[in-house]
Amino acid sequence: MPTGVALRDARERLFDAAERVLLRDGPNALTSRAVTAEAGCAKGVLHRHFPDFDAFLAELVLDRVARMDGRTATLRESAGTGTVAGNLVEALTDLFGSIALTVLNLIAARDNLRARLRQAGVTGVPVLAEAAGMIASYLAAERGHGRIAADADVDTLALTLIGAGHLLFAGREGAPPEAEAVHKVVATVVGGVVRDA
């Protein structure tokens, strides 16, 4: 692409390109050259918007984490409909079937990225921490509907579901677990507190 050509939404275009590279080739293939080639722009475009590649990666992670707000709202709005286990299975499958696992691998693979995220005030493991909050929010809403026991510890249940879901989906190389396997995990974790049919 010739230099001097303005790109609309350059940041988003670069983020989307990085996501495609991550999903297709994994975190080790993610370089500034790979991202700009995938985005179809000059390498200087990335450096015009970000001080360095680690800053770009930190912003990418933060952007993808911020997108979880929509998932959280959608899941919370499903409270009182369907079944608790069915809603949780769908949420975990959507979460871990998306870019989430690849972002986690990226964070694990890059020390400088973890340092940048800490500097940005991120605590815990990005994506997993937000996912646990999403599940806890949903379970609290279900508790309000009387479909979860009033004394249920929704925060611990959420952490358990996210940890189990992560282990269930990780390392599968594009072959997600069977829905029955996800349902079994969910039913085991929440079976003692669910009050719906």
Answer whether 39's CB lies under 8 Å from 67's CB: no
Domains and CATH numbers, the chain: 10-49 (1.10.10.60), 66-190 (no CATH)
Q: Name the E strands within the chain.
A: none
Q: 194: which DSSP letter? A: B
User: Global pTM?
Assistant: 0.83
pLDDT exceeds 60 at position 90: yes
| β-strand partners of 194 | 148
Contacts of 91 (CB under 8 A, 6+ apart): 71, 75, 134, 135, 138
Question: Tens of pLDDT along 39-71?
Answer: 999 888 998 999 999 999 999 999 888 887 788
Confidence category of residue 136, pLDDT binned at 50, 70, 90? very high
Confidence category of residue 5, pLDDT binned at 50, 70, 90? very low
Answer whether 172's CB lies under 8 Å from 97's CB: no
- Give me the mean pLDDT over the 130-155 stretch: 96
How far apart CA 107 and CA 36 sit, in angstroms, is 20
Q: How many Cα atoms within 13 Å fall on the side-chain side of residue 24?
A: 11
Question: Tens of pLDDT along 13-25?
Answer: 999 999 999 888 8
Q: 52: which DSSP letter? A: S
Please report, for residues 5, 113, 115, the alpha-carbon distance to residue 33 in angstroms, rounded to integers and kept in the order given: 18, 18, 22
Question: Tens of pLDDT along 168-190?
Answer: 988 766 678 898 999 999 999 99
Confidence category of residue 8, pLDDT binned at 50, 70, 90? low
pLDDT exceeds 80 at position 32: yes
* Closest by Cα among 156, 176, 179 to 166: 176
- Give me the mean pLDDT over the 123-145 stretch: 92
Q: How many Cα atoms within 13 Å fall on the side-chain side of residue 155?
A: 1
pLDDT exceeds 90 at position 122: no
